[in-house]
């Protein structure tokens, strides 16, 4: 009798828990994403840039083994998020000319592989700048108004979830690879320069109606296989993380969190209901690398594609040797995580996402 009562009580609590999850999902009208290759599902397929991944072996573990322009073997973290929010299974690229009205309404990604907050960064790969991504969002809003009307569009945007992931290219492709910014900035002052662009971007999103914004920090950049390779005297034997790069990432993340805190304190500029959440990628990714054996990863210092030391974009192609099981690797190519690593990053971020959308 008592066991039956407890069983019913458990089912009641479990049902309430599920209803709470569903209620939280219903508060989100759409998902909009801005940034770089970590969140680009294929926008670069539609521009003239070498920063593409719409060819094998990218997408090897995707639906129908289809290379879509995602820089991994399967789904991105933003695909897991949009599915978790109950909007759709995959987040499409905005520049896809075949997007249906239904796809448009529930959200898109404006991100472009190779982009960054520094206006110089996207010019190095001829990709879509963050400023242009914002212009595409304004263009998107006009199309949405044609579908929903002006007032409903405003409410729709107010209840949407905004996700921003950029900054790594600003350091890896730009600051540490070409001398232009290093002639004028130290790593610390360059970080402050980037953060001014971050703040401007957030304030511009506020003007366009964004109210729930999640911003991803930098990963342990010194642990990216490409960075290890380019900073090792012996690429086969010296495969440890490069502390200088990771230290720069930690300093930037601390400054970013501080600036986001100050930004929300300035009540005269913050729209009613606006919330910003910092999502830590450094800690979870570093943990996957340092504790990889406990988490079921075998390889952490090189990617699954080719040698995994330097291959990315067109260097990871149909002629490259590919590992048999990408789930054993943290990295797919020399920069980007595997689908399994992205899923773990999503799971780590989920409590912060829940808190943000329910705020």
Q: Is 311 helix (H, G, I), strand (E, B) or coil?
A: coil
The model's confidence at residue 268, banded by pLDDT at 50, 70 and 90, is confident
User: Does residue 83 register a pLDDT over 90?
Assistant: yes
User: Does residue 7 register a pLDDT over 80?
Assistant: no
Average pLDDT of span 250-273: 92
The model's confidence at residue 120, banded by pLDDT at 50, 70 and 90, is very high
The catalytic position among 37, 109, 129, 165 is: 37
Average pLDDT of span 289-313: 96
The residue that leads in pLDDT, 190 or 3, is 190
A 10 A CB-CB count for 297 gives 20
Average pLDDT of span 331-354: 98
- Residues β-bridged to residue 162: 32, 213
Average pLDDT of span 59-68: 95
333 belongs to the catalytic site: yes
The residue that leads in pLDDT, 268 or 129, is 129
CB 275 within 8 A of CB 339: no
The catalytic position among 36, 280, 333, 334 is: 333
Provide the residue range defining the domain that includes 54: 30-285+353-357
Average pLDDT of span 96-107: 94
37 belongs to the catalytic site: yes
User: Does residue 9 register a pLDDT over 60?
Assistant: no
| Alpha helix segments (H runs only) across the chain | 2-26, 77-84, 101-106, 120-125, 130-148, 150-158, 168-169, 187-207, 225-230, 243-265, 282-290, 292-295, 339-357
User: Does residue 262 register a pLDDT over 50?
Assistant: yes
Q: Flag whether 189 is in a domain.
A: yes
Whole-model pTM?
0.92
The model's confidence at residue 114, banded by pLDDT at 50, 70 and 90, is very high
Q: Flag whether 269 is in a domain.
A: yes
Average pLDDT of span 25-53: 94
Number of domains in the chain: 1
Average pLDDT of span 148-158: 96
The per-residue pLDDT for 319 is 94
The per-residue pLDDT for 215 is 98
User: Does residue 228 register a pLDDT over 70?
Assistant: yes
pLDDT digits (tens, 9 = 90+) for 234-256: 766 678 999 999 999 999 999 99
User: Does residue 204 register a pLDDT over 60?
Assistant: yes
The model's confidence at residue 27, banded by pLDDT at 50, 70 and 90, is confident
Query: Residue 235: CA atoms inside 13 Å, Cβ hemisphere, count?
Result: 13
The per-residue pLDDT for 237 is 67
Q: Over the chain, what is the mean pLDDT?
A: 92
A 10 A CB-CB count for 217 gives 22
Output the CA angle 319-73-116, nearest 5 degrees: 100
100 belongs to the catalytic site: no
Find the CATH number of the domain harbouring 90. Answer: 3.40.50
The per-residue pLDDT for 239 is 87
Q: Flag whether 110 is in a domain.
A: yes
The model's confidence at residue 269, banded by pLDDT at 50, 70 and 90, is confident
The catalytic position among 156, 197, 302, 336 is: 336
Q: Flag whether 348 is in a domain.
A: no
Output the CA angle 150-151-157, nearest 5 degrees: 90
Backbone φ and ψ of 86, nearest 5°: 80, 20
Q: Flag whether 144 is in a domain.
A: yes
The per-residue pLDDT for 359 is 84
User: Does residue 18 register a pLDDT over 60?
Assistant: no
The model's confidence at residue 149, banded by pLDDT at 50, 70 and 90, is very high
The per-residue pLDDT for 234 is 74
Q: Flag whether 308 is in a domain.
A: no
Average pLDDT of span 127-156: 97
Query: For a pLDDT cut of 90, what percent of the chain falls above it?
Result: 88
User: Does residue 59 register a pLDDT over 60?
Assistant: yes
User: Does residue 196 register a pLDDT over 90?
Assistant: yes
């Amino acid at each position: 009798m008592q066991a039956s009562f407890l069983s019913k009580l458990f089912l009641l609590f479990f049902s309430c828990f599920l209803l709470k999850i569903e209620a939280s999902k219903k508060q989100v009208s759409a998902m909009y994403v801005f940034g770089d290759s970590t969140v680009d599902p294929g926008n670069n397929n539609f521009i003239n840039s070498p920063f593409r991944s719409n060819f094998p072996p990218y997408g090897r573990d995707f639906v129908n083994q289809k290379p879509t322009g995602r820089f991994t073997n399967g789904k991105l973290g933003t695909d897991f998020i949009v599915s978790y929010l109950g909007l759709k299974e995959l987040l499409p690229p905005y520049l896809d000319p075949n997007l249906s009205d239904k796809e448009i309404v529930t959200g898109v990604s404006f991100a472009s592989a190779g982009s960054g907050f520094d206006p110089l960064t996207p010019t190095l790969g001829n990709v879509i700048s963050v400023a242009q991504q914002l212009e595409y969002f304004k263009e998107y809003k006009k199309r949405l108004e044609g579908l929903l009307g002006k007032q409903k569009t405003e409410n729709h945007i107010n209840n949407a979830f905004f996700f921003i992931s950029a900054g790594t290219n600003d350091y890896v492709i730009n600051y540490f690879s070409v001398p232009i910014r290093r002639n004028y900035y130290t790593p610390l002052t360059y970080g402050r320069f980037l953060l001014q662009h971050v703040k401007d971007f957030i304030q511009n999103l506020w003007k366009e109606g964004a109210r729930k914004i999640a911003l991803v920090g930098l990963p342990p950049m010194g642990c990216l296989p490409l960075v290890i390779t380019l900073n090792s005297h012996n690429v086969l034997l010296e495969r440890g993380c490069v502390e200088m790069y990771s230290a720069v990432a930690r300093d930037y993340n601390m400054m970013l969190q501080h600036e986001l805190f100050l930004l929300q304190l300035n009540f005269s500029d913050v729209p009613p209901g606006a919330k910003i959440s910092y999502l830590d990628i450094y800690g979870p990714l570093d943990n996957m690398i340092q504790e990889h054996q406990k988490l079921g990863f075998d390889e952490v210092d090189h990617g699954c594609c080719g040698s995994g030391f330097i291959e990315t974009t067109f260097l990871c192609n149909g002629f490259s040797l590919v590992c048999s099981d990408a789930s054993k690797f943290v990295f797919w190519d020399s920069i980007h995580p595997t689908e399994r690593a992205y899923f773990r990053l999503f799971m780590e971020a989920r409590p912060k996402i829940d808190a943000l959308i329910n705020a």
